[in-house]
A and B are shown apart, each in its own frame.
Chain A
Amino acid sequence: MIELYHVWKQYQKPDWALKDVTIKVNQGDFCFVTGPSGSGKSTLLKIIFREIFPTHGQIVVDRRNILRISDHKIYRLRRTMGIVFQDFRLLFHKRVFDNVAVVLQVLGYPRKELRRRVFNALRMVNLNHKMWEYPSHLSYGEQQRVAIARAVVNNPNIILADEPTGNLDTELAFEIMSLFSEINKKGATVIICTHDRELIRHFGKKIVFLYKGKLLREEYI
């Protein structure tokens, strides 16, 4: 499903954010990428959804080399992915509903179907009662759940989440991780970057360990 071959990434000389990383994530995997801060977890995710290009190496997603996709066609790749950013990247001048609906608007969903799907996604993260609130009126955890609802609303094949439970209490973190687990059970491939060992121990199926940009080990539990 997602294959990285000898991926190197350098932002600034002489440091390497990623050094010769080769990973394969199969369809339906629930994969944790872990490692200390600065180990290259976020860089790895950014390369997979092509926010950035690697300095060397190749990336294949769904049997397509994503580095060969032209800029004006990259939207096709991104429509197959749901992304949860570390900083959520919500639109604070738009209501919760509109924040989630933006994904379906891009795809041109009819209004009725759009409302139904957005409502279901928000119900899944237990935020349907706050649909018409602005994100600034929500707690940190609630904002995170809006970001998750936005990532899953169009049932993508791949979910990428960067520290989705960072700064959340354990109970909420487990709740959110259970959500990802449910989505994974429906067939989506999920890749989560985290350094929360407790979560990895509880939910992990495949774990990728990074340290200073190098792949230390890959293991299935």
Chain B
Amino acid sequence: MITQKFKHFQRETLNNLWQFRARNVFSVTIICLSFLIVGIFVSLSNNLQYTAQQLSQDMAVVFFLNKDISPIDREAITRELGKSPLVQKTQFVSSEEAMEKFLTKFPDLQGIIDNLKLNPFPSSYEISLRGRDLTYEETQPFIDKMRGMKGIEDVQFNKDWVEKMQSLSRLARAVGFFLGGILVLASFFIVSNVIKLNVIARKDEIEILRFVGGTNTFIRIPFLTEGIILGALGGILSLLLLFVVIKLFPIYLGSSLGILNELINFRNLTFSQSFALIFSGAVIGLFGSLSSIAKFLKS
């Protein structure tokens, strides 16, 4: 009996989907576009999160030394670094090595360096810190102390960048959820109204089903399945579109944004994010149709 009913629901759902295909396509498109907006921001946020992670894996402080630092001062700095429990690894980079590194990264700028006729790069200590989740309170006294030492000209700490990346990522996600939330809400009402139109179009059939002993569940199920399918389809299509955007966007953008290219980029959604997107679509479809059929069955 259950198999027969299941087959009936399957048939009815497919009938409903086909019979009202124009407005069903419309509602799938709306859901798809709403979820695409959410997807784009989540993808952007993923990329910022990824960049922040990459940076935090290499939580480094660079102490730039004075050109004319005395060997005693340099010795004192080395001793101080060796004493600190925060320091995992210390590497001295001479001004020659610094220039070499620079020229390897930017070979086009060889001419400018040659014209300078002197090495503009200071020697430095590159420090890797112990632990990725060090707080500001933990690191700042050490950095301040080092900054105050004789012979140190400047300090560069990439923790600021990590934090900036993380806040940008959070911002992108928040904007995505805000804009997407509004659109998803709109798509909820659209699905609800499309299903309501389908319900009204089948008013006679519903009435007959009630007169021949159909339960409310029996009447409701094909409409609910229809809503779930429309929502999930919208979600799947938005994922496909997002995939296309991720592939095409870098080609379209080229290298016009320079270093920002790395930041304004898209990263594929994770499996759980993709699943959540499709699932949310299905849930919106389900609730959209539930609300419209509930009103109808009550009346």
Contacts and interface: CB of A to CB of B under 8 A. Distances in A.
B211 A49 contact: yes
Contact of A150 (B4, B8, B212, B216): B212
Q: How large is the interface on A (under 10, 10 to 19, 20 to 34, 35 or more residues)?
A: 20 to 34
Interface string B198-218: 000000110111111111101
Interface residues of B, number: 20
A107 B213 contact: yes
Interface in B207-262: 207-216, 218
A114 B213 CA distance: 16
B112 interface: no
A179 B5 CA distance: 30
Contacts, number: 53
Contact of A76 (B19, B213, B216): B213
Nearest to B217: A72
A102 B211 contact: no
A78 B204 contact: no
Nearest to A107: B213
B291 to A, nearest CB: 18
B1 interface: yes
A110 B204 contact: no
A93 B209 contact: no
A75 B218 CA distance: 11
A89 B203 CA distance: 11
A72 B4 CA distance: 22
A134 to B, nearest CB: 14
B213 A108 contact: no
A211 to B, nearest CB: 28
Interface string A80-111: 00010000010101000000001101111111
Given A108-B2, A108-B4, A110-B4, A72 B215 contact: yes
A130 interface: no
Contact of A109 (B4, B213, B215): B4
A195 interface: no
Contacts of A109: 1, 4
A79 interface: yes
A105 B8 CA distance: 7
A78 B208 contact: no
Closest 10 CB pairs of A and B: A79-B213, A108-B1, A78-B213, A106-B214, A75-B213, A103-B212, A108-B4, A108-B5, A105-B8, A75-B215
Interface of A: 49, 51, 72, 75-76, 78-79, 83, 89, 91, 93, 102-103, 105-111, 114, 150
